[in-house]
Amino acid sequence: MSIAETNKIPLKTITHISQYLTFRLGEGVFAFDITQVREVLDYTSVTRVPRTPDFMCGVINLRGSVVPVVDMRLKFGMPRTEKTINTCIIIVEIKIGQESALIGAMADSVQEVMELEPESIEPAPRIGAGLKVDFIKGMGKRDEKLFIIILDIDQVFSERELTEMSSGTASGDMETGQS
């Protein structure tokens, strides 16, 4: 019996070999399920949109479509991404209710596409009752020393944050008139 079963935690079970796009944010290695990745772009100019959440860099024009770009480091409470030659924007498709949308996730660098077998993936750690980790599908292990945080991109942003990004307003700005 696993630790998760004894603690009665509902797990996001990964039951087959899956491919993941790995990328760096600071010293950490993260991954998106490759089925949700549409493309990887070199960093390009991003148009800032007023009154949006701090983690939203702005928008880019992707073949005629406006795509919001988020700084994944800011989203996870890290320092702002420093733009380098390796900085990139990972275009991912997320689910918003019954619809899907594209979001650009800015990362320090893209590493590789890798396959992970289910036995190489541990459940998300339980760090405390108040900490929500439902945005983590699991912790991939590689070479027994490297952990890869496998993100559930559909859970990284709340529905409210997605609405704020698409409407161009931060929470409370419309009601209070403050910025």
Q: How far is CA 150 from the centre of its chain?
A: 9
Helix, strand, coil in percent for the chain, rounding step 5? 15, 40, 40
**Structural domain contains residue 17:** yes
**Structural domain contains residue 76:** yes
Rg (CA), the chain: 17
**Structural domain contains residue 176:** no
pTM of the model: 0.79
**Structural domain contains residue 126:** yes
**Domain assignment of residue 70, given as a range:** 3-169
What are the tens digits of pLDDT across the range 49-102?
Answer: 998 889 999 999 999 999 999 999 999 999 999 999 999 999 999 987 788 889
Domain containing residue 29: CATH number = 2.40.50.180
What confidence category does residue 125 fall into, taking pLDDT thresholds of 50, 70 and 90?
confident
Res 95: pLDDT: 84
Q: Say how many domains are in the chain.
A: 1
∠142-154-161 over CA atoms, to 5°? 125
**Structural domain contains residue 106:** yes
**Structural domain contains residue 31:** yes
Query: How far apart are the C-alpha atoms of 129 and 53, rounded to whole Å?
Result: 26
Q: Which one has a higher pLDDT value, 83 or 122?
A: 83
Which residues, in sequence order, are CB contacts of 171 under 8 Å at separation 6+? 53, 160, 164
**Structural domain contains residue 178:** no
**Structural domain contains residue 174:** no
